[in-house]
Structure 1
Amino acid sequence: MPMPPEPPFQHRPYDGSTRPFTVGLKPIGEETWLEPDQFLDAHLAEKERLFAQDLRAVFRAEEDTCAAQREVLDLVTDNLMRFHPLTHRVEAGSATVIGTGRRIAFGQEPALLTASKLVQEDLVIMREGPDGYRLVAASVCFPSSWRLSEKIGRSMSGIHEGVPDFNGARMGQVVGRLFENLATDQLVCRFNWSIYPDDNLHHPIPEGIAFAVTEESLARLFLRVERQTLRRLPKSGDIVFTIRIHHDPLAKLAEQEDRKRIASDLRSQLMDLTADQLDYKGMIRARDEIAETLERM
């Protein structure tokens, strides 16, 4: 049975409900932890391509993470079995992604890699260390302007080096306390967003908008929304961090019934970004043109 299409602009972190470069965590239920949608087959195919092309570029794991990886796989398969029977079937020793021809066997590769081949989310394991939580294992096929090879093994402060308002500011302290106090029965979610010049999922290299933005060229841009979740693994005590990419083509904006509100909300957040924040998002040159075009809409 095909899945009903998810509407564009499903998640709108730019609507004023959260502020960019803040923690902005909200509790979620187990049933919404993972988000399979009509792009499941395409996203998994892109993961397969990246795994085959250069596995170490998108998957890394320290040797003592095997048990934590299995915990993640157990959580993922249990969630798929309970809440996503239209897209996944879990059996003894394997899982099937329904309608795609994919049957993933367990035990033939690192468990985190197996889990990543079942879902659209990227999966990251964070472990407590002397300098705070650090990245010890990850399958990250769809990074937003960063490379896994440069982040593996690093602490939260190291991972976020160069991110405006994180290190030396309240945000880094809040994230540190969150990681320390997160209970095993808590699931929390936050969002990031930016505007990208294309809909490529794999974006390890920062790429700003280099062309002049008009109403015609605005339709070539994509809102890239990252939905991130956090939960503590019940046995190891490590934290699993998921990242799910949603692409909203701005070409579809004119078709939305509430397009005026979407354009207004997006413009307001763009205009509120500082120069450092705009530079980090790759929009320092194009912000005013985008804002003016959205205002005309």
Structure 2
Amino acid sequence: MEAILQTRLGELPPGYGRLPGTGPLDMARWLMVDDAYAAQMAERERLLRDHRGEVVAMEPGREAVAAEALRMVLAHLGEREEWAEEAGRVTCPDGRRVTVDEADPLGTLGRLIAEDICLLEARDGAQVLVGAVLCFPSRWVLAEKIGRPMLRIHAPVPGYGEALNARVERMMGALRPGVGLWRANGHFHSDPMLFYPRPEVAKKEWEAEARYFRSERQALIRMPETGATLFSIHTTVVEASALTEAQRARVTG
């Protein structure tokens, strides 16, 4: 399969390289349309058609959370010139027309935007993953994470322990509707494939330098009705040679 690449990496946040490294989110620039949008959406359509059970999951009884996420995204798209909605159908930036299926909010989200969407709820003092449409996982498997709290989800991640988790939980607990946060991560990869699931038991080798660089632009937004947290992930994969000198200094420093 041909690699789907952007031509440039784009903006890195001031806190890049630190954990959690978040900054204020400009809501007008929440969802991304870049030069890989059409190709990424074609891949999302394929994954939702052929691998639905691997890329969509929701805990029973969390339908209201997923429905609110869809309404929030549709409201945002209504303010953007790249999308147009009429009579329950959305014309996307690549020309596809997507029917809004309220009975399948996560699947609809997966067809509208390039971002993956994870939904988290506070439960027993921890943020728990209760639903997601995750077409572009990077070294993790959705089925292993659904219903798990943040600390358990990040158990395989080097350096993510109880102290950092406590900071992340406090940060997420303090989120207020209308005021989001964003951050970004990045790693060199030999494999540019967007759908890159790996089970927890698999050995994960992080490369100091490789042909490609993969980055996730992540946003955290409190949803006002259910109080759940919407966590969006926009994935960029570029040739490592496309990094500017300033970007390379930051991602390798």
State the TM-score, normalizing by the size of structure 2: 0.88
Change (3 A) 1:239 1:108: closer
Structure 2: distance between partners of 1:108 and 1:12: 35
Residue 29 of structure 1 is matched in structure 2 by 26
Structure 2: distance between partners of 1:39 and 1:201: 12
Q: Percent of counterpart pairs with the same letter?
A: 29
Describe the superposition over 1:139-185 as per-residue Cα deviations: whole angstroms up to 9, x where unpaired: 0010110000100000011111122222222x211111112111112
Question: How far has the Cα of 1:63 moved from its partner?
Answer: 2.3
Change (3 A) 1:148 1:198: same
Structure 1: distance between partners of 2:162 and 2:134: 27
Residue 224 of structure 2 is matched in structure 1 by 234
Residue 196 of structure 1 is matched in structure 2 by 189
Higher relative contact order (CA 8 A, sep 6+): 2
Residue 247 of structure 2, aligned match among 248, 262, 269: 262
Residue 186 of structure 1, aligned match among 172, 175, 179: 179
Residue 250 of structure 1, aligned match among 218, 240, 243: 240
Given that 2:7 and 2:238 are in contact with CA atoms closer than 8 Å, whether structure 1 keeps it comes out as no
* Paired residues for 1:97-136 under 5 Å: 97-100=92-95, 102-107=96-101, 109-136=103-130
> What SS does the corresponding residue of 2:158 show, helix, strand or coil?
coil
Aligned residues: 244
Structure 2: distance between partners of 1:264 and 1:30: 28
Structure 2: distance between partners of 1:181 and 1:230: 11
> What SS does the corresponding residue of 2:136 show, helix, strand or coil?
coil
**Is 1:9 aligned with 2:31?**
no
* Unaligned segments of structure 1, at least 5 residues: 1-5, 254-258, 269-297
* Paired residues for 1:88-103 under 5 Å: 88-100=83-95, 102-103=96-97
Question: How far has the Cα of 1:9 moved from its partner?
Answer: 2.5
Q: CA RMSD in A?
A: 2.1
* Paired residues for 1:274-285 under 5 Å: none
> What SS does the corresponding residue of 1:82 show, helix, strand or coil?
coil
Residue 156 of structure 1 is matched in structure 2 by 150
Larger Rg: 1
Given that 1:133 and 1:155 are in contact with CA atoms closer than 8 Å, whether structure 2 keeps it comes out as yes
* Unaligned segments of structure 2, at least 5 residues: 1-5
